[in-house]
Structure 1
Amino acid sequence: MRITFGPWGETLDEVAAAARAAEDAGAEALWVPELHRSATISAAAVAAATTRAQVGTAIALAFTRSPMVTALEALDLDELSGGRFVLGLGTGVQRLNEDWHGVDWSKPVTHLRETVRDIRAFWASCTTGEPIDLPGERAPMRIRGYQRPYQPTRTDIPVYLAAMGPALTRLAGEIGDGWISHELVSPAFLRERILPELGASGRRVDVVTSACCSVDRDPAVARRRSAGMVGFYATVRTYADFFAFHDLAEEQGAVIEAFRSSGAVAGGLADAVPDRMVSALTLSGTRDDVAAGLAAYEGLADTVKLTPPTHGLTPEETRLAQKELIAVIEELCR
């Protein structure tokens, strides 16, 4: 498996420094999310600070930018990184799209399929001046009188799709170059729920499983650091099937109730998350515990994306967790 990393920083300079340290430790790709920062701006900072590792968005929101803007930003990031960029896209959830961004959520599978089609078509023909006329139910694209005067570094930038439900996962297997999970996917869920859907089309894609990873000599300390991340995902009701698969439906319900009654932000629910949830869904414990957890993904995932715990922690706590995780990556990549 490829070992890759999601850097954290209180500033963009710190994100870039963490990415550089992870690259030096042996991480083969560096992934940046879209929640508290813009994924594309963070990717630019990481690309400028590194020289060898791939730089990917994990993920950029697919519907909050137009396909043309996404395509242009990807071309610029690929140029900035010297051909190292990976465009990771995800739909987000309905509330995020409609309430936070004012974007219509209807038919996300159709919308994502057409968005990826549009982006690839734009990459292929944006420098020729040929018109683009792509009908669509959710993302039609009609461009005339446009010719990009700059030659792209590549016109076949890899497109990875984030998915958890069966329909989007099948779409990732059908049209994506890779699939990306959120931070809590267990080996059992990957084997039983994800891989059958990814393989339905008969294509081979890069399987990127993400893992919230907390390392400490005291496993109890490591687990408590990761509890806020689990609480964040547990507030999402559409993940009910995911938690039920792990026999954690009751625990998810308790987290949702705590979220509703306390008014706390989703990442501040660590106290409502029992160790059982953390142990089942994250790589948290001693270095030996983490190594054993990683070994369970062998033969299932092509790539593991390790990220430090962030939700509900102080910057100092996350900084310490990230430093320890990069040291583990260096051991793993020797």
Structure 2
Amino acid sequence: MRITFGPWGETLAEVAAAARAAEEAGAEAVWVPELHRSATVTAAAVAAATTRAQVGTAIALAFTRSPMVTALEALDLDELSGGRFVLGLGTGVRRLNEDWHGVDWDKPVTMLRETVRNVREFWARCAGGEPIELDGEREPMRIRGYRRPYPPARTDIPVYLAAMGPALTRLAGEIGDGWISHELTSPAFLRERILPELGAHGRRVDVVTSACCSVDRDPAVARRRSAGMVGFYATVRTYADFFDFHGLAADQQKVIDAFAGSTAGGLAGHVSDAMVDALTLSGTRDQVAERIAAYAGLADTIKLTPPTHGLAPDEIRAAQREVIAVIEELCR
């Protein structure tokens, strides 16, 4: 498996420094999310701070930018990184799109399919100046009188799609260059639920499993750090099938019941050790290395991220240093 990393920082400078440290430790790619920062701006900071590792968004929200803006930002990031950029896109959930960003979320599978088509078509044709005429149920594109005068680093930038449900996962297997999970995907879920859907179209894609990774000499400390991340995902009712698959439906419901008026830090106290052990890589360095090895033969790439939800900055920094140390040991 390729070992990759998702950096954290209170400032963009700290994110960039963490990315550089992970690259020096041997990480083959650095991925940045979109929640508390813009994924594309953070990717620019990481691209400028690194020289070898791929730089990917994991993920950028697909519907809160127009496909043309997404395409332009990807071309700029690929140029800035010297051809190292990977465009990771995800739909987000309905509430995030409609309430936070004021954009429609109807028929997300259709909308994501047409978004990816438009982005790729724009990359292929924007330098020639010919019209782009694309019909679509959700994302038609009509561009006339436009020519991008700058030569692209590439017109075939990889596009990875985030998915957990069957329909979007099948779409990733059909049109994506890769698939990206959220941070709690277990080997069993990957084997039984994800890989059959990804392989439905007979194509080979890069399987990127993301993992919340918490390392400490005391396994109890490592578990406690990861509990807030698990609690964050457990509050999302659409993940009920995911938690039920792991025999954790009752555990999830306890978190949901405690959610009103609580924070990630507060939710951590309602997260069972069984949830943390099943869904995160938490423990000593040897225990974490053993859990990473369980993905061999299932995932092509593993993305290790430190726990962040509900933790003070200094504790996140300590957790991040341990993850980078694990990367260095694995990549020797």
Deviation at 1:147, TM superposition (A): 0.3
Deviation at 1:269, TM superposition (A): 1.1
Please state if 1:243 is matched with 2:239. no
Summarize the Cα distance change of 1:265–1:103 in structure 2 as closer, same or farther, 3 Å threshold. farther
Letter in 2 for 1:297: Y
- Are 1:184 and 1:282, in contact at CA under 8 Å, matched by a contact in 2? yes
Q: Which residue of 2 aligns with 1:280?
A: 278
Deviation at 1:316, TM superposition (A): 0.4
Which 4+ stretches in 1 moved above 3 angstroms? 265-268
Aligned-pair Cα RMSD in Å = 0.6
Deviation at 1:264, TM superposition (A): 1.9
Q: Which residue of 2 aligns with 1:156?
A: 156
Q: Which residue of 2 aligns with 1:303?
A: 301
Within 5 Å, which residues of 2 pair with 1:174-213?
174-213=174-213
- Are 1:209 and 1:305, in contact at CA under 8 Å, matched by a contact in 2? yes
Aligned equivalents of 1:316, 1:301: Cα separation in 2:
31
Deviation at 1:257, TM superposition (A): 0.9
Stretches of structure 2 that go unaligned for 5 or more consecutive residues are none
Deviations 1:232-261 (A, max 9, x none): 00011110000000000011111111002x
- Are 1:229 and 1:267, in contact at CA under 8 Å, matched by a contact in 2? no
- Are 1:268 and 1:311, in contact at CA under 8 Å, matched by a contact in 2? no
Letter in 2 for 1:92: G
Q: Which residue of 1 aligns with 2:319?
A: 321
2:296 aligned counterpart, secondary structure: coil
Within 5 Å, which residues of 2 pair with 1:221-300?
221-260=221-260, 263-266=261-264, 268-300=266-298
Aligned equivalents of 1:268, 1:209: Cα separation in 2:
27
Letter in 1 for 2:263: V
Deviation at 1:266, TM superposition (A): 4.4
2:269 aligned counterpart, secondary structure: helix
Aligned equivalents of 1:315, 1:81: Cα separation in 2:
28
Aligned residues: 332
Between the two proteins, what is the percent identity of the paired residues?
A: 85
Within 5 Å, which residues of 2 pair with 1:1-334?
1-260=1-260, 263-266=261-264, 268-334=266-332
Stretches of structure 1 that go unaligned for 5 or more consecutive residues are none
Letter in 2 for 1:119: V
2:51 aligned counterpart, secondary structure: coil
Aligned equivalents of 2:100, 2:294: Cα separation in 1:
37
Deviation at 1:223, TM superposition (A): 0.2
Letter in 1 for 2:331: C
Please, what TM-score do these two structures have when normalized by structure 2?
Answer: 0.99
1:133 aligned counterpart, secondary structure: strand
Letter in 1 for 2:192: E
Aligned equivalents of 1:204, 1:43: Cα separation in 2:
26
Letter in 1 for 2:243: F
Letter in 1 for 2:323: L
Summarize the Cα distance change of 1:158–1:181 in structure 2 as closer, same or farther, 3 Å threshold. same
Aligned equivalents of 1:267, 1:8: Cα separation in 2:
17
Please, what TM-score do these two structures have when normalized by structure 1?
Answer: 0.99
